[in-house]
Amino acid sequence: MSGQVKDRIIEIIAEQAVLEPSDISLDQSLEDLGIDSMGLVEAIFSIEESFDIQVPFNANEPEKSDFDISSVQAIVTAVEGLIKKQTA
Amino acid sequence: MKRVVITGAGTINPLGHDVATTFEAMKEGRSGIGELDIRDVDRLAIRIGGQVKGYEPESRFNRQQQALYDRFTQFTLIAAEEAIQQSGLEFGGKLAAEAGVVLGTSGGGLSTLDDNYRAVYEEGKNRVHPFIVPKLMNNAAASHVSMTYNLKGPSFTVATACASSNHAMGQAFGLIRAGFARVMVTGGSESMLCFGGIKAWEGLRVMSKDGCRPFSANRNGMVQGEGAGVFVFEEYEHAKKRGANILAEVIGFSMTADASDIVMPSQKGAARAIAGALKDAKINADQVGYINAHGTGTAANDKTECAAVASVFRQHADKVMISSTKSMHGHLIGGTGAVELLACLMALKDGVIAPTIGYDEPDPECALDVVPNEAREAQVDHVLSNAFAFGGLNAVLALKKA
């Protein structure tokens, strides 16, 4: 399952960055990829839709959020955690 | 006071995807009204409308734009592009700060609301796309025009139901005339041909099931349309100095409120608006060659409007031509005055009066020259455009040949 989660998240992020999934590497940040705050909330929406989970994220205080968005890898890890917790 | 001229026009509506095609249709007296092609149409009692056909959003807008642009915003941007291109204006430096956008709409992003209410209420979904609010808000279209063309002056949206566009263009006219702006992009847009939009109108029992026949004795109601009309209003000296192609001059505007009933129109309120526009334009009734009527095709509007025109025009009422192009494109609600202003431009520029089609039987209560069924060649120097909204809010514009 873990590979599938990673691939789908990369797909979602690539769509927002208007890049091919193959252009995305796990250590990049959203800023590196040119994704702004609007792109971020759209990506979170797609993640919620794809995995049927609730992502705890408030655009007013992203730094206080439990959801780590510092890199693509961080997002994958966070989503995997949420899937485990919310579908357990 | 500054003079105000029109230097650009653009549209997408049931008659065509640009001004040239729309003029052609109006000259031919072609109808853009047909069977509605929308979701759940089988649960509607009203199944006709003036839909914009042959339009593919993905051919004009990319995925990100489509996520942010409701259909009414898409229509606005398409019409604005044509109008601004025709004007030849580019907005930078000082001009950007002296240029704004004021647009009319009644329902704003109504189909976005409809789709998402459906998702949460009918389909039981618990989340909606993050951009629903910026997509559905009434000022979305005005804001996207401002952003796309760098218009940094006075910009806002006017919502007065069926008079929205005329009120918006009246504001644009006033802003330039008073020196608050040099250029205003103005007009209006509407897109409420969705299940919820039609269902709400059905409730009022004013819609026709078979066609829009304004002023005809056998009329039986209005037909809704969708689309946008956008114009570039420009201060006359500014336009002249740069050698712009002037389509017409805006010379007067008047707005009144009936202060009587939320849906029934008032002859007096309409007459005061018509007389007010003439006074503001400093012209007499006998100088007006054509009136683009509000002409919805409802029993109430058409006889009230004809009585109002007759009371203001008196002995000249028999000579003035008055037609309702809603017979062809339907009632575009908040966008209607803007698309109808095209008929005024066609009259002034091309000397062709758009007809009232679907006219079968004279109605003694609408005994004016309604230019029945066929367009007419006529030289006119001054025209009026009427809009009378639910809520009793009336707005009339006066235009003059360039």
ipTM computed for the complex: 0.82
Of all residues in chain B, the one with the smallest CA distance to A37 is B130
CATH classification (class only), B256-400 = alpha beta
Q: CA B284, CA B274: separation in Å to the nearest integer?
A: 11
Find all residues with CB under 8 Å of B211, minimum gap 6, and list them: B33, B48, B223, B358
What are the Cα distances from residue B12, in Å, to B30, B64, B388?
15, 22, 22
Domains B4-241 and B256-400 agree in fold: yes
Q: What is the pLDDT of residue A2?
A: 63
Tally A–B CB contacts below 8 A: 15
Residues in chain B closer than 8 A to A45 (CB atoms): 127, 129-130
CB within 8 Å: A45 and B67? no
Q: What is the pLDDT of residues B259-284, one digit of tens each?
A: 999 999 999 999 999 999 999 999 99
The ranges of chain B with pLDDT < 50 are none
A23 touches chain B (CB under 8 A): no
Mutate to test the interface with B, among A45, A46, A54 (most CBs of B within 10 A): A45
Place of tokens 């089609």: B357
A80 touches chain B (CB under 8 A): no
End-to-end CA distance of chain A: 14
Q: What is the pLDDT of residue A1?
A: 56
pTM of the model: 0.95
Domain assignments of chain B as residue spans, ordered by start: 4-241, 256-400
Task: Tell which residue, A13, A20, A21, A19, has the closest CA to residue A72.
Answer: A13
The helices-and-strands tally (H runs, E runs) of chain B is: 15, 14
Of all residues in chain B, the one with the smallest CA distance to A17 is B64
Query: Residue B12 carries which side chain, given as an amino acid letter?
Result: I
Active site residues of B: 162, 294, 331
CATH 3.40.47.10 fits B4-241, yes or no: yes
SS3 sequence of chain A? CHHHHHHHHHHHHHHHHCCCHHHCCCCCCCCCCCCCHHHHHHHHHHHHHHHCCCCCCCCCCHHHCCCCCCCHHHHHHHHHHHHHHHHC
From the list A18, A42, A44, which residue is nearest B67 (CB)? A42
From the list A15, A18, A45, which residue is nearest B129 (CB)? A45
Bridge-based pairing of strands B227-235 and B4-12 is: antiparallel
Q: What is the mean pLDDT of each run of 10 residues along chain A (88 residues)?
A: 87 95 96 93 95 90 85 96 88
Q: CA B356, CA B12: separation in Å to the nearest integer?
A: 20
Domain assignments of chain A as residue spans, ordered by start: 2-87
Q: CA B316, CA B319: separation in Å to the nearest integer?
A: 5
Best CATH choice for the domain A2-87 from the list 1.20.120.10, 1.10.1200.10, 2.60.40.10, 3.30.200.20: 1.10.1200.10
- Residue pair B337/B393 in contact (Cβ under 8 Å)? The answer is no
What are the Cα distances from residue B94, in Å, to B76, B86, B142, B346?
25, 21, 20, 33
Query: How close does chain B come to A29, measured CA to CA in Å?
Result: 21
Query: How close does chain B come to A27, measured CA to CA in Å?
Result: 25
Q: What is the pLDDT of residues B175-214, one digit of tens each?
A: 999 999 999 999 999 999 999 999 999 999 999 999 999 9
